[in-house]
Amino acid sequence: MKGRWRNIELNDSFWERFYLPFPLVVIGSKEGDHFDLAPKHMSIPLSWEDHYGFVCTPRHSTYHNIKKHGYFTVSYPKPEQLVITSLTASPRTNSDTDKAILSQIETIPASTIEGVFLKDSFLMLECKLYKIYDDFGQNSLITGRIINARADEDYLREADKDEQQQLFNHPLLSYLHPGRYASIKETGVFPLPKDFKK
């Protein structure tokens, strides 16, 4: 069946016109004498090594916290943590300088930096600020070097595990922009060409 194509105007709502899958993470940063948590979906490894980055905006405390302290954490929540992850996006009130809801969310401390993770996340990264790129319109790209990582053993790839069954038993949480989510558990092997090298 042929597709029916039409041009899309490149304006502020361009990315709202279709669905795209993204990872859903929670970024942690030090804010005063406590820690802030904020969900992000424009987040990705930036190399095959230890570089990591996410899109933020100078309008958010996350940006200023990381710029000031030089560190951040990345929590990859499981699908059953969807509501808790969503609550980290709760707004601040006029009378509060922090998000009151965060005191109700369970966290665990980072190992090598001043930071916290969303408890029970399947992957946790501790990052030292590398560079902030402020030239993406109203957004910025915050990049870091991963200096410590830990993962739930059920999510680690191992030679003796059936990958399809592993993902079925331990699905991944994905954000479908705009405004939806998915639990990824049905997967297939990607058909790479013979002798393909990364």
> What is the SS3 string spanning the chain?
CCCCCCCCCCCCCHHHCCCEEEECEEEEEEECCEEEEEEECCEEECCCCCEEEEEECCCCHHHHHHHHHCEEEEEECCHHHHHHHHHCCCCCCCCCCCCHHHHHCCEEECCCCCCEEECCCCEEEEEEEEEEEEEECCEEEEEEEEEEEEECHHHCCCCCCCHHHHHHHCCEEEEEECCEEEEECCCCCCCCCCCCCC
Q: In this structure, which amino acid lies at residue 42?
A: M
User: Is 15 inside a domain boundary?
Assistant: no
**pLDDT at position 145, please?**
98
User: Is 195 inside a domain boundary?
Assistant: no
Is residue 173 within 8 A of residue 82, CB to CB? The reply is yes
**How far is residue 54 from each of residues 33, 142, 184, 196, measured CA to CA in Å?**
24, 6, 21, 29
pLDDT in tens, the chain (198 residues): 577 899 999 998 899 999 999 999 999 999 988 999 999 999 999 999 999 999 999 999 999 999 999 999 999 999 999 999 999 998 876 655 668 788 889 999 999 999 999 999 999 999 999 999 998 999 999 999 999 999 999 999 998 999 999 999 999 999 999 999 999 999 998 998 988 887
**pLDDT at position 90, please?**
87
Question: What distance in Å separates the CA atoms of residue 130 and residue 123, rounded to the nearest whole number?
Answer: 20
**pLDDT at position 122, please?**
98
User: Is 37 inside a domain boundary?
Assistant: yes
User: Is 184 inside a domain boundary?
Assistant: no
pTM for this model (two decimals): 0.93
**pLDDT at position 31, please?**
93
User: Is 61 inside a domain boundary?
Assistant: yes
Domain encompassing residue 70: 20-153
User: Is 182 inside a domain boundary?
Assistant: no
User: Is 178 inside a domain boundary?
Assistant: no
Characterize the bridge pairing of strands 25-31 and 34-40: antiparallel
Domain count, the chain: 1
Measured from the Cβ of residue 190, the count of other Cβ atoms closer than 10 Å reads: 6
Question: What distance in Å separates the CA atoms of residue 92 and residue 104, rounded to the nearest whole number?
Answer: 15
**pLDDT at position 97, please?**
65
Cis amide prior to 77 (ω within 30 degrees): no
**pLDDT at position 96, please?**
56
User: Is 13 inside a domain boundary?
Assistant: no
CATH number of the domain that residue 75 is part of: 2.30.110.10
